[in-house]
Amino acid sequence: MNLKNAPGIVVIILIGILIGLGAYSFIYAKGYSYLSDDPKACINCHIMQANYDSWSKSGHQYVAKCNDCHLPHGNIAAKYAVKALNGFNHGWAFTFQNFHEPIQIKDLNRKVALQSCLNCHQPMVQAMDIGAHKGTEDDVKNCLHCHRGVGHGQ
């Protein structure tokens, strides 16, 4: 063994530890569950417990899971992009504990949720001309303005 190679060996060992530790953390934190549609994945980090509890008692539990309302439909790339972004933001906020409580929905996610309402309810509401106004902050013709508790209350 040549002493000149020592850093290389240490690096290899460290990378091994890193991969092992990373894989263990991933399994321990149920990281794989984020690839599924299971609503339980959303309460891995505890913040969503109240939302999960009320969802599991709401009417929507029979027809829609978290992902059905909170992720874009149709485009699989968009779906996973939003999922990854939200996952990262939530993980970051919860790890460093710097977020508003109660948590507040961001503009992108509000738009996604509104679009999701239409995804199922379009046939019913198409006469309401929501399409022209959808997703703007100050828009009163917005499903969530009146129905913000349908999926889960606070």
Partner 1 sequence: MKRNLIILAGAIVLTVAAAALLVNIFERKQEGKQAFYRVVEITDEIEDPAIWGKNFPYQYESYLKSSDMTRTKYGGSEAFPHVPTSKDPRTVTSVQKLDQDPRLRIMWNGYAFSKDFREERGHAYMLLDQELTERQEVVKQPGACLNCHASTYLLYKKLGDGDLTKGFHEMNKIPYKEVVQMAKHPVSCIDCHDAKDMSLRVTRPAFIEGIKAFKATQGITEYDVNKMASRQEMRTYVCAQCHVEYYFKGDGKTLTYPWAKGIKVENMLAYYDEIKFKDWIHKDTGANVLKAQHPEFELFSQGTHARAGVACTDCHMPYQRVGAMKVTDHWVRSPLLNINRACQTCHNVSEKELFDRATTIQDRHHKLRDTAFDALIDLINALKPYKDVDLVKNPNKDLEAARNFQRHAQFMFDFVEAENSTGFHAPQESARIFGDSIDNSRKGIMAVNRYKDSLKK
Verify binding: residue 128, partner 1, rule CB under 8 A: no
Verify binding: residue 11, partner 1, rule CB under 8 A: yes
Site size toward partner 1, by CB under 8 A = 26
Q: Which is nearer to partner 1, 57 or 97 (CB)?
A: 97
The torsion region of residue 135 among left (phi > 0), alpha (psi -120 to 50) and beta comes to left
The torsion region of residue 54 among left (phi > 0), alpha (psi -120 to 50) and beta comes to alpha
DSSP of 7-76: HHHHHHHHHHHHHHHHHHHHHHTTGGGGGS--GGGGGTTSTTHHHHHHHTTSGGGGT--HHHHHS-SS-H
Verify binding: residue 7, partner 1, rule CB under 8 A: yes
Whether 126 and 83 have beta carbons less than 8 Å apart is answered as no
Q: Which is nearer to partner 1, 63 or 101 (CB)?
A: 101
Shortest distance, position 64 Cβ to partner 1, whole Å? 20
Verify binding: residue 18, partner 1, rule CB under 8 A: yes
CA 133 to chain centre: 25
Of residues 1, 124, 138, 154, which one binds partner 1 by CB under 8 A? 154
Verify binding: residue 94, partner 1, rule CB under 8 A: yes
Q: Which is nearer to partner 1, 30 or 85 (CB)?
A: 30
Verify binding: residue 98, partner 1, rule CB under 8 A: no
Of residues 77, 100, 127, 140, which one binds partner 1 by CB under 8 A? 100
How far apart (Å, rounded) are the C-alpha atoms in residues 148 and 144? 4
Whether 51 and 152 have beta carbons less than 8 Å apart is answered as yes
- Binding residues (CB under 8 A) for partner 1: these are 7-8, 10-11, 14-15, 17-18, 21-22, 24-25, 28-29, 45-47, 94-95, 97, 100-102, 104, 148, 154
